[in-house]
Amino acid sequence: MINLHWLYVLAGAIFAGYAVGSARDSSNPKRVGNALFWSLMTVSFWLGDFLGDLGNGVLVLALVAIPGARWFGRGTRESATREERERGAARYGNRLFLAALIIPLTAFVGTLAFNYTPLKGASLIDPKAVTLVLLGAGVILGLVVCYGWLKPPAAASIEDGSRLMNGVGWAGILPQMLAALGAIFASAGVGTTIGALAGAIIPHGSIILAVLLHAFGMVAFTVIMGNAFAAFPVMAAAIGVPILIEADGGNPAVIGAVGMLAGFCGTLMTPMAANFNIVPAALLELKSQYAVIKAQVPTALALLAANIVILYVAGFHL
């Protein structure tokens, strides 16, 4: 049966490719540090189960130390000349995006096929991991299609993949780190502690104040952790469930869904959400790494105000 273990093997292989490509980049004076960084990521995905808590903790500290000591950098080697890129763009145009669409389409169509056909009873894929496994299958399928269609050099995926990730830098793994931080916060009882403080501050029956604290709390924790999914269990345990739902009788569906949307407003305003805000700035080589965030702040504030209104009206008065 194909489960998350094999997805971790695939992800580890991709990081191993980054390590090899980094080591081969003679234009990068910090290629040894880059190769070591991606090698440690490979070890994490391939051998993390065998390292134990202490071993994985040391590995994470090493991952932090490498860019912290400025051993991580990008080279100047280009995969193609400007003229070659312009010829490729003129030849393929927007059709190049079709290859990228293979990944989500494989996950979406494959998940539907798995759930509504006899495939579900074939014991081929772990039902708990079907979408993620099919996402990995989409990556493999997209790679095969690109090689068959574009016919690049054999090492193109390794060379260009490592060049791209070295350009993004350590921010490329920040979402994974932040997701782990959210789990730590929840396990440490941060939500319970905040809930006790909120209960002492909020007057009994003051729904609007509880709604405001919940919404702004989701935004604040998302800004800190860069991930609304990591902030959600903390604020749900603090205010969402014990105060808004149990004490004030709010609609659980509205509190949960719109509370999460309030957290996404924080995603738009934080560099910690690196995959949304910092990585695009690096890929587009913008002058300011915070340019994306600056453009999104007005939208985020408007959406937050709308979410607060929806939480109060739909959650308690409809």
How far apart CA 5 and CA 11 sit, in angstroms, is 10
Using DSSP, state whether 2 is helix, strand or coil. strand
Residue type, 283: L
CA dihedral (29, 32, 35, 38) positive or negative: negative
Q: Do residues 155 and 163 make contact, with C-beta atoms less than 8 angstroms apart? A: no
* pTM across the whole model: 0.74
The candidate with the shortest Cα–Cα distance to 17, out of 155, 129, 135, is: 155
Q: What is the pLDDT of residue 251?
A: 94
Confidence of residue 149 (pLDDT cuts 50, 70, 90): very high
Confidence of residue 276 (pLDDT cuts 50, 70, 90): confident
Of residues 289 and 19, the one with the higher pLDDT is 19
How far apart CA 4 and CA 132 sit, in angstroms, is 8
Q: What is the pLDDT of residue 107?
A: 93
CA distances from 57 to 33, 40, 64, 307 (A): 19, 12, 11, 38
Lowest mean pLDDT among 30-39, 175-184, 188-197: 175-184
pLDDT beyond 80 at 274: no
Q: What is the pLDDT of residue 311?
A: 94
The candidate with the shortest Cα–Cα distance to 272, out of 155, 203, 176, is: 176
pLDDT beyond 80 at 142: yes
pLDDT beyond 80 at 154: yes
pLDDT beyond 80 at 176: no
Phi then psi dihedrals of residue 125, to 5 deg = -125, 140
Average pLDDT of the chain, as a whole number: 88
What's the rounded mean pLDDT across residues 193-207? 82
Q: What is the pLDDT of residue 231?
A: 85
Q: What is the pLDDT of residue 44?
A: 94
Q: What is the pLDDT of residue 262?
A: 94
Lowest mean pLDDT among 23-37, 158-172, 237-251: 158-172
Confidence of residue 128 (pLDDT cuts 50, 70, 90): confident
